[in-house]
Structure 1
Amino acid sequence: MGWQSRTRTLQVFDTELSADTVEWCPLPQWSHVLACGTYQLQKGDDKTAEDSTAPNRIGRLYLFHCNPQPSFIPPLTETQRIDTPAILDLKWCHVPISERPLLGMATASGEIQLYKLMEPQQGTSGLECELRAELGPDRLALSLDWSTGRGESSDVRVVSSDSSGSLTVLSLGEASLTAVCQWKAHDFEAWISAFSYWDTQIVYSGGDDCKLKGWDLRMGPSSPTFTSKRHTMGVCSIHSNPHREHVLATGSYDENVLLWDGRNMKTPLNETAVGGGVWRLKWHPSQEHLLLAACMHNDFHILHCQKAMEGQDAPCPVLASYILHNSLAYGADWSRLPLSNSTPPSPQEPPQTSIGLTESGCHLRIQYESPTASFDTSLEDDSGQYVPDHCLLPQKRSAPDPFTSPVRDTQSLSCLMATCSFYDHMMHVWRWDWSPEEEQMTSEPAPSS
């Protein structure tokens, strides 16, 4: 059976400053909340820009509410923007803290800042800075991760990596964020740090020295539990699989995604060349085999990792690619919001499409909506006429069937995504639909004789 994979742009938002991180809130009650962080090096004297750290790096934190239902276009509503130091990473805590969501932010000022999502005021929720901790002088905080990735941790901690090559583990108390330990982990920038979500005493790190390392906090940071040089360039993304114990995904400037079994870090389970440096990797919130990759110079891709995780030595097939960003693909995240499997088109609510454009001779038209700084895309033919959604069905990408089902016991899948790109300062919200070809064909009217 063939399978149809389709991506559709729902909204595009101009962040004004360079966008590098997006994160959907993972808590069910607040899964409609989306945060986006930006990073901008202010122009000025070259010497000043080189020698400075925080003063010339500015950022902005955006907060959005999303309603992805077909009757609401565009789905995002901006509810807050906060000027901050430049932001290099954002991560929501996977469990509520004092019954509220908590957002962690790694900044160019060398701080980890924690923002609490407060009760709605005048109909919208807002973020307030609750706690902050300095990692040390003359360094940029480059990444952070929570120990709560599987949503069941009582000992809430944060691990951060920084531009000095150091890692810091911080403990969250009732009214404090305190550094528990800090150590030199890499020779150059430590681009990424992450907890094992199955054993939160284990921390992984990757650096510009091309090394991937593991650390056991019970043994102290005097020496790593392993050091891998399997990546040939800087290691900049790591994500522990929250659904499958021991499985770890890593990405590098060497343009490869590696899958590992944490019990044997000498040789990876699998290697997949994706093109472009792999800046971020995200496992799907509920489907253990789906991996989202932000590939810098080569857009965003969804990989299916089932066969690799079962020990078969073959690259992970790419199920879908999102190619509408025009700059470095940096931030990417899956939403947990449920989507209907179909969005019937109507003249008042034209659907947005991002594949099949070349084959159908169509192009995207940008529709600006002032003064919200957001805009939508709709599909037109070469004469400027709107192309209805059903007319594109023959051009939809039909993928080979590299496995029995894309998701076990599931006939179709619809996902909402957010991605962002750097120099063009854009954030896109889009959906991915994956369905059996036969299922789709049965929904089409039979041709008249």
Structure 2
Amino acid sequence: MGWQSRTRTLQVFDTELSADTVEWCPLPQWSHVLACGTYQLQKGDEKQTAENCTTPSRIGLLYLFDCNPQPSFIPPLTETQRIDTPAILDLKWCHVLISECPVLGMATASGEIQLYKLMEPQQGTCGLEYELSTELGPDRLALSLDWSTGRGESSDVRVVSSDSSGSLTVLSLGEASLTAMCQWKAHDFEAWISAFSYWDTQIVYSGGDDCKLKGWDLRMGPSSPTFTNKRHTMGVCSIHSNPHREHILATGSYDENVLLWDGRNMKQPLSETAVGGGVWRLKWHPSQEHLLLAACMHNDFHILHCQKAMEGQDAPCPVLASYILHNSLAYGADWSRLPLSNSTPPSPQEPPQTSVGLTESGGHLRIQYESPTASFDTSLEDDSGRYIPDQCPLPEKSSVPDPVTSPARDSQSLSCLMATCSFYDHMMHVWRWDWSPEDKQKPSEPVPSS
């Protein structure tokens, strides 16, 4: 059976400041809530670097949106709140309720992990309220965070964070406190990413600008890693544990490759997939265990099908879909858990009704350093404030595999809602992806000759 994969833009939102992280609330009652974080180095402080990271030079905005995915999708998102914050490097919702409220964690350029509670008034829309924070240490930026609750387990809720000093910190969440349980030097340079194993939350993974992927067992203490892997040839900046399949781990790097691992054997990856851009974020689908969303910096956003790799077949993961409408570095990406109707999306010829126009540019500007913590020179932007990356080839698309199981009981099709954001053009996009069987009654079209 042949399958077709289609993406459609539903809405584009200007975040004003550079956007680098976007997260849908994973809790069913609040799955309509979307958060987006931004990072801006204030003009006049371009000489400041990650080693000289005082708070005033880096500012951010935390956005909150409400999504109403009616069949018309006009418009799906409504902004409900914006909060002035230090520059935001990462956002993650806790996967369980804390004191009967959803909680959003934020890693900031002020070196703090901040927590916000989502409050739902009797009348009106939800809003975030600052709850508490903790400092990771002086002269550092908090670069990432992850919750131990990825499989929905609410006992012993903890947070792991990585920072620009190369350190990891594990924090315990109490009734009114966020307390550091342990902190240690994990990498020689920036520790870009940290993540729990969702199946054994005493296991923590980290990746750094020293090109190393490491594992840590908190029961043994952080004196030495359980493994150190140098398979990635550049900085390791994304890690995500699969919440549906035990032992499966995805990692990404500035070396433009996505690696899949079996946590029981970290000497050799299960697969290696070239995606044509540095892999800043990876997200497993909330219910389909084989689907992986990748934010690929200079080369847009891609959905990978990882079934064969997870079954032990040593082959790259085929790309099911690519979203290529951002005009800047692809940083933030997340799947929504909101259900979508399987109605036919607009035809390719119809322009998205709620998108803003994205003008074409004939020029190209080159970025000198891809990290969001670098100091950015204003010459990297054109007259409209947009960064135009070098053209990169899309990953080669293999034949689209059939779903392993039917995504829905009554049909073999899948419709997903996604949010992605890009840096220099300060844009957040909301789009849908439809994966469905091809209509056998439709006559096949001739393939044009090359």
Give the alignment's TM-score, normalised by structure 2: 0.85
Q: Deviations over 1:300-331 (max 9, x none)?
A: 00000000000011110000000000000000
CA 1:367–1:7 in 2, change beyond 3 Å: closer, same or farther?
farther
CA 1:359–1:77 in 2, change beyond 3 Å: closer, same or farther?
closer
CA 1:407–1:300 in 2, change beyond 3 Å: closer, same or farther?
farther
Q: Deviations over 1:74-103 (max 9, x none)?
A: 100000000000000000000011111000
Contact 2:116 / 2:131 at 8 angstroms: preserved in 1? yes
CA distance in 1, matches of 2:349, 2:390: 13
CA distance in 2, matches of 1:56, 1:361: 33
Contact 1:49 / 1:56 at 8 angstroms: preserved in 2? no
CA 1:413–1:37 in 2, change beyond 3 Å: closer, same or farther?
same
Contact 1:11 / 1:374 at 8 angstroms: preserved in 2? no
Moved more, 392-401 or 84-93: 392-401
- Deviation (angstroms), 1:119: 1.9
Contact 2:19 / 2:426 at 8 angstroms: preserved in 1? yes
CA 1:10–1:393 in 2, change beyond 3 Å: closer, same or farther?
farther
- Deviation (angstroms), 1:71: 3.2
Moved more, 21-30 or 368-377: 368-377
Give the aligned length: 449
Q: Deviations over 1:176-203 (max 9, x none)?
A: 1000000000000000000000000000
CA distance in 2, matches of 1:188, 1:380: 28
Secondary structure of 2:265's counterpart equals: coil
CA 1:81–1:375 in 2, change beyond 3 Å: closer, same or farther?
farther
CA 1:163–1:342 in 2, change beyond 3 Å: closer, same or farther?
same
Give the alignment's TM-score, normalised by structure 1: 0.86
- How large is the Cα RMSD of the aligned pairs? 7.9
Contact 2:330 / 2:422 at 8 angstroms: preserved in 1? yes
CA 1:324–1:31 in 2, change beyond 3 Å: closer, same or farther?
same
CA 1:378–1:13 in 2, change beyond 3 Å: closer, same or farther?
farther
**Structure 2 portions without partners, runs of 5+:** none
Secondary structure of 1:359's counterpart equals: coil
Contact 1:356 / 1:392 at 8 angstroms: preserved in 2? no
Whether 1:25 aligns to 2:17 is no
CA 1:218–1:380 in 2, change beyond 3 Å: closer, same or farther?
closer
Contact 1:238 / 1:249 at 8 angstroms: preserved in 2? yes
- Deviation (angstroms), 1:392: 24
- Deviation (angstroms), 1:368: 32
Percent identity among equivalent residues? Answer: 92
- Deviation (angstroms), 1:54: 1.8
Moved more, 300-309 or 406-415: 406-415
Q: Deviations over 1:251-302 (max 9, x none)?
A: 0000000000000000000000001100000000000000000000000000
- Deviation (angstroms), 1:8: 0.3
Q: Deviations over 1:121-146 (max 9, x none)?
A: 64111001101000000000000000
CA distance in 1, matches of 2:77, 2:65: 6
Contact 1:367 / 1:377 at 8 angstroms: preserved in 2? no
CA 1:98–1:344 in 2, change beyond 3 Å: closer, same or farther?
same
CA 1:375–1:210 in 2, change beyond 3 Å: closer, same or farther?
closer
**Structure 1 portions without partners, runs of 5+:** none
Q: Deviations over 1:146-178 (max 9, x none)?
A: 000000131000000000000000000011100
Q: Deviations over 1:28-52 (max 9, x none)?
A: 0000000000000001154499734
CA 1:397–1:413 in 2, change beyond 3 Å: closer, same or farther?
farther
Moved more, 253-262 or 390-399: 390-399
CA 1:221–1:363 in 2, change beyond 3 Å: closer, same or farther?
closer
CA distance in 1, matches of 2:337, 2:376: 23
Secondary structure of 2:55's counterpart equals: coil
Contact 1:6 / 1:355 at 8 angstroms: preserved in 2? no
Secondary structure of 2:392's counterpart equals: helix
